[in-house]
Amino acid sequence: MPISVNLDAALDKTYESSSLADLANAPVSALAGVSEADAEALRSAFNIKTIADLADHKFVRTAQAIVTLSQVAK
Protein backbone atom coordinates (compact mmCIF):
# COMPACT_ATOMS: atom_id res chain seq x y z
CA MET A 1 0.00 0.00 0.00
CA PRO A 2 1.56 3.34 -1.03
CA ILE A 3 2.00 5.97 1.63
CA SER A 4 1.69 9.65 0.85
CA VAL A 5 3.02 12.40 3.06
CA ASN A 6 3.44 16.11 2.44
CA LEU A 7 6.82 17.23 3.78
CA ASP A 8 6.90 20.58 1.98
CA ALA A 9 6.97 22.60 5.22
CA ALA A 10 10.01 20.63 6.41
CA LEU A 11 12.00 20.98 3.20
CA ASP A 12 13.82 23.60 1.20
CA LYS A 13 11.69 24.45 -1.87
CA THR A 14 14.25 22.79 -4.17
CA TYR A 15 13.57 19.38 -2.59
CA GLU A 16 9.78 19.50 -2.18
CA SER A 17 9.07 17.06 -5.02
CA SER A 18 11.86 14.61 -4.12
CA SER A 19 11.19 10.98 -3.25
CA LEU A 20 11.90 9.78 0.28
CA ALA A 21 14.87 7.77 -1.03
CA ASP A 22 16.28 10.88 -2.69
CA LEU A 23 15.68 12.94 0.46
CA ALA A 24 17.61 10.46 2.59
CA ASN A 25 20.61 11.06 0.32
CA ALA A 26 20.07 14.80 0.05
CA PRO A 27 22.35 17.25 1.87
CA VAL A 28 21.16 18.37 5.31
CA SER A 29 20.62 21.82 3.79
CA ALA A 30 17.58 20.26 2.06
CA LEU A 31 15.85 20.59 5.44
CA ALA A 32 13.99 23.87 5.89
CA GLY A 33 15.92 26.16 8.20
CA VAL A 34 19.30 24.46 7.72
CA SER A 35 21.58 26.88 5.89
CA GLU A 36 24.64 25.99 3.86
CA ALA A 37 26.73 27.33 6.77
CA ASP A 38 24.85 25.07 9.21
CA ALA A 39 25.39 22.11 6.87
CA GLU A 40 29.11 22.88 6.67
CA ALA A 41 29.32 23.11 10.48
CA LEU A 42 27.68 19.67 10.79
CA ARG A 43 30.06 18.27 8.19
CA SER A 44 33.11 19.76 9.88
CA ALA A 45 32.14 18.77 13.41
CA PHE A 46 30.51 15.37 12.86
CA ASN A 47 31.09 14.37 9.21
CA ILE A 48 27.33 14.65 8.63
CA LYS A 49 26.69 15.24 4.93
CA THR A 50 23.21 13.88 4.24
CA ILE A 51 19.83 13.67 5.94
CA ALA A 52 20.52 9.94 6.42
CA ASP A 53 23.84 10.72 8.11
CA LEU A 54 22.06 13.12 10.47
CA ALA A 55 19.27 10.65 11.30
CA ASP A 56 21.75 7.86 11.97
CA HIS A 57 24.28 9.89 13.95
CA LYS A 58 25.04 8.48 17.40
CA PHE A 59 24.40 11.78 19.19
CA VAL A 60 21.02 12.26 17.50
CA ARG A 61 20.00 8.67 18.23
CA THR A 62 21.14 8.99 21.85
CA ALA A 63 19.24 12.25 22.29
CA GLN A 64 16.09 10.68 20.81
CA ALA A 65 16.40 7.69 23.14
CA ILE A 66 16.85 9.90 26.20
CA VAL A 67 13.78 11.98 25.35
CA THR A 68 11.66 8.90 24.62
CA LEU A 69 12.71 7.17 27.82
CA SER A 70 12.17 10.35 29.86
CA GLN A 71 8.56 10.45 28.65
CA VAL A 72 8.02 6.82 29.65
CA ALA A 73 9.65 7.36 33.05
CA LYS A 74 7.19 10.11 34.07
Q: Which alpha helices (DSSP H) does the chain contain, by range?
A: 20-24, 36-46, 51-56, 58-72
pLDDT at 5 (0 to 100) = 87
pLDDT tens digits, one per residue of 5-55: 899 999 999 999 999 999 999 999 999 999 999 999 999 999 999 999 999
- Residue-level pLDDT at 74: 74
- Are 15 and 30 a contacting pair, CB within 8 Å? yes
Confidence of residue 66 (pLDDT cuts 50, 70, 90): very high
When pLDDT is cut at 50, 70 and 90, the band that residue 73 belongs to is confident
pLDDT of amino acid 2: 79
